[in-house]
Structure 1
Amino acid sequence: MKRSLSFLMCIMLIGSMSMSLFAAGTNEQVASGPKVINVWSFTDEVPKMLENYKALHPDFDYEIKSTIIATTDGAYQPALDQALMSGGSNAPDIYCAESAFVLKYTQGDAAQYAAPYKDLGIDVDNLLKKADIAQYTVDIGTNGKGQLVGLGYQATGGAFIYRRSIAKQVWGTDDPAVIKTKVGPGWDKFYKAAADLKAKGFGIVSGDGDIWHAIEGSSEKGWIVDGKLYIDPAREAFLDQSMMLMKNGYHNDTRDWTDAWFGDMKDANPQKIFGFFGPAWLINYVMAGNSGGSAPGEGTYGDWAVCEPPVGFFWGGTWVLANKDSKIKDAVGDIIEWITLDSSKTGLQYFWANGTLNGPGGTKDTVASGTVMKMSDGKLPFLGGQNMFDVFVPAGAFATGKNKNQYDETINMYWRDQVREYTAGNKTRSQAIAEFKQQVLDNLDIASK
């Protein structure tokens, strides 16, 4: 009997050892399998950055698997939400969110998926200070527990972008140091400038959307306060400012992103327009291509300059986040640090600021790091050789991210539509406000205060 038991125990021990060896072999195969980082974005901008990172770091042996879904028709967010919820090997390790909906992923309904940067091995406090990151980007990228979970690489603080030749005709100079005192600080000076320009036959902006981004971005409070719809006095005043522009002919009554709006960038409409509000991306990727030329002297190309706006604001931007359930946090942390917080001359932002990411001669752009911009060359032929960083570095400091919420994109659309109905004479001021509140209640289930 004892011999039988001994024999049985030997068989069991051999079986157990075999299973252990098999399991070890299986784990080794998994460990030696392909190393993949899943990246989700709504453009190819960040995925291309990662390919540059690989080229600059030959020892980085991960494959970059990119999923790019445009925000057109609202397709990106539902797909991203499902991928984050489902998890697994195909879940995003890194994902991107633009300013219109980033708060959903940093502070809102999908904030639970984002990993704190510190959990990725990033020395957050030290690098934020060293890189001189604009506070508005930090505020937006910080979750409800005070943890930084997202940052951008672009600076999108806004400036006033104006025509040099028109400034000379009206005020005898195109010097940004002088023009900033004509258009601000404050809206009273801006409308005094509008009257001066109108007296000479010019409009100050193309449409009311041009001032909206500045008004929205500079308001003290956002649309939602204590769970209720709130109309900040500065945002309510947009009704009156828009009407002032309309009644006095201070604009061409265009709507942003329409042909007429683009036309005002190259004097295609009867009334020439003095300026636009926007960050550097508006200059590089919208205005330059719609100026009617590609070199100074062609169209309006080279006849522009930037100065401080009447109020501080930002417009746009992309924030980079990491999945808290990613199994490769160290590698993800290395990449995100290189994109968002590396202020050295080998970091993404130095290449981005100087237009050298893909070799010399690329597009220079403003970046999140003030440190990088201060040591970079921001001179643009489109701006008559002006160094745009002289204006955009302080512009980031003037902006705030504390008046935003995850429903901004939808609520802004409702508000702007009602304001245009009012200025067109189709509704009274009180009707426009009442119908705006009803739209928000009906579609978002948010009652007004």
Structure 2
Amino acid sequence: MKKRITKLMALLLTTSMLVPMTACSTGGNEAKSDEHVLNIWCWNDEFQSRFNDYYPEVKKVSKDKSKTYLKDGTVVKWTINENKGNNYQNKLDEALAAQDDKDDNEKIDIFLIEADYALKYVNSSATLDVVKDVGLTKKDLGDQYQYTKDIVTTKGVQKATSWQAAPGLFAYRRSVAKQVLGTDDPVEVQKSLSDWNKFNEVAGKAKSAGFQMLSGYDDSFRVFSNNVKQPWVKGDTVTVDKNIMEWVKQTKEFTDKGYNNKTSLWNDAWSKDQGPDGKVFGFFYSTWGINFTLMKNSLADPDGKAQVGNGAFGDWAVCEGPAPYYWGGSWLCAAKGTDDKKEIKDIMRKLTCDKNIMKKMTENPEIQDYTNTVSGMEEIAKDPNFGSEFLGGQNHVALFSESANKIDMSNTSKYDQGCNEKIQTAMKDYFDGKVSLDKAKKNFETSIKETYPTIKKVEWPNE
């Protein structure tokens, strides 16, 4: 009898232990207690797809893509928080603040940042030195574009690394260029757009031919803001660079004369201007924008195959435009508190330092990302067989390669995102004639002081 009771108790105990284990295993993103988990945080699936497609250690990916399984048994868990407003940063900040209280399998190991707010994290204790702490060498990082390192370096310490560079060019409609300039050849078009005076002159010609030079208020902003002579903030003072006011002057003129279509970045009208029925000469775009946003918007059938015959696919080309600039980019940070430095080093080294892996991303016709390898991009730039069907067969990498070497990030500051956004918002009412320039300036001063309470005054350039 005792033996039967003992066996029954053992059976009940075993069953009760299995119940929570089964519940845990069906929890989707929750890890099993014996799994080694690497947590990666980002705001969209761009890096996730690069990781899954090009990291050599990937074994398989879960159906819902929330987990990636590596060959050594590590489970990569993806946390993607859409970057609307400051949603991504807010959730990231909360998680990083609680990092010390988490188990190793719950701690953030890698998180991604963008250029506009990079210094917020680079200057914090939340990120590790990719050389001293993670273990990358100067040789590993030696083939990367210098600006991609400068933007995430503080006091000589590099705190992040990227697989991509994002130099910008001017993308224009070939058919429109032929009507306005009599040619769609990138070399000849560049001669007509090589400085702002020439650019503005062509805007007048485009208007006379029934086109707008640009779509909206914000299109040229990055080109001006990337070429300022000083950072936005020093001490407690915001200094509005003369180049920013040149953008204001140009945009007001373009708006008043009908040289733009009064749209704003990312709205429906702006996207439609890039479609087959668009009447806009061109758009300032960096690498990712041309290969993904512009191409998608150009299609008559977004669900159809991206090829000549589908909307404006093939009716685009690129030239350098009036000034070098960059727009965007994503960087990988190693989070303080991670216990996975060895894995992080391998990921960073293979996806952001390995020329052969990065060249494969660029050579993939469905991606053609401009990757962070100087020698690799120079090799592709000289390849007579490489070209973009979307750009009419043009080897755009050759132009991006030239532009990337001219980018200067010495005036970057942690206030860039707020200042860039607030100045554009404040000036919109001025462009539309709703307020005077002086009132728009006052509105900017008010909003920037609310955004950054430590700011005491705003200085404007002498007109």
Compute the TM-score of the two structures, normalised by the length of structure 2: 0.81
2:347 corresponds to 1:335: yes
Decide whether aligned partners of structure 1 residues 151 and 309 sit closer, same or farther in structure 2, where only a CA change above 3 A counts. farther
**Aligned residue in 2 for 1:97:** 113
**Aligned residue in 2 for 1:134:** 145
Structure 1: unaligned runs, 5 residues or longer: 1-31, 356-360
More helix by share: 1
Q: CA deviation at 1:217?
A: 1.5
The CA deviation string for residues 58-87 of structure 1, in whole angstroms up to 9 with x for no partner, is 754322122221112422212222222222
**Aligned residue in 2 for 1:63:** 75
- Which amino acid in the other structure matches residue 99 of structure 1? A
Is the 1:38–1:93 contact (alpha carbons within 8 Å) kept by the matching residues of 2? yes
RMSD over aligned CA atoms reads: 2.1
Compute the TM-score of the two structures, normalised by the length of structure 1: 0.84
**Aligned residue in 2 for 1:7:** none
Find the aligned partners of 1:328 and 1:266 in 2 and give their Cα distance.
45
**Matches of residues 16-415 of structure 1 in structure 2 within 5 Å?**
33-52=34-53, 53=55, 54-55=57-58, 60-87=72-99, 88=102, 89=104, 90-107=106-123, 111-120=124-133, 122-129=135-142, 131=143, 133-143=144-154, 145-184=155-194, 186-268=195-277, 272-293=279-300, 294-343=306-355, 345=356, 347=357, 349-355=358-364, 362-376=366-380, 378-415=386-423
SS at match of 1:321: strand
Decide whether aligned partners of structure 1 residues 58 and 290 sit closer, same or farther in structure 2, where only a CA change above 3 A counts. closer
The CA deviation string for residues 171-204 of structure 1, in whole angstroms up to 9 with x for no partner, is 22212112111111x2112112212222322221
Q: CA deviation at 1:379?
A: 1.4
SS at match of 1:426: coil
Q: CA deviation at 1:40?
A: 1.3
Decide whether aligned partners of structure 1 residues 47 and 172 sit closer, same or farther in structure 2, where only a CA change above 3 A counts. closer
**Aligned residue in 2 for 1:19:** none
Find the aligned partners of 1:393 and 1:415 in 2 and give their Cα distance.
31
Structure 2: unaligned runs, 5 residues or longer: 1-32, 60-68, 301-305
- Which amino acid in the other structure matches residue 98 of structure 1? E
Find the aligned partners of 2:182 and 2:114 in 1 and give their Cα distance.
40
SS at match of 1:394: helix
Q: CA deviation at 1:253?
A: 1.4
- Which amino acid in the other structure matches residue 323 of structure 1? A
Q: CA deviation at 1:397?
A: 1.7
Q: CA deviation at 1:427?
A: 1.4
Decide whether aligned partners of structure 1 residues 124 and 427 sit closer, same or farther in structure 2, where only a CA change above 3 A counts. farther
Q: CA deviation at 1:245?
A: 0.5
Alignment coverage as a number of residue pairs:
401
Find the aligned partners of 1:245 and 1:306 in 2 and give their Cα distance.
22
- The higher radius of gyration belongs to 1
Q: CA deviation at 1:267?
A: 4.7
Q: CA deviation at 1:353?
A: 1.0
Is the 2:128–2:134 contact (alpha carbons within 8 Å) kept by the matching residues of 1? no
**Aligned residue in 1 for 2:424:** 416
Decide whether aligned partners of structure 1 residues 92 and 274 sit closer, same or farther in structure 2, where only a CA change above 3 A counts. same
Find the aligned partners of 1:404 and 1:435 in 2 and give their Cα distance.
24
Identity over aligned pairs, percent: 30
Deviates more, 1:64-73 or 1:305-314: 64-73
Is the 1:154–1:365 contact (alpha carbons within 8 Å) kept by the matching residues of 2? yes
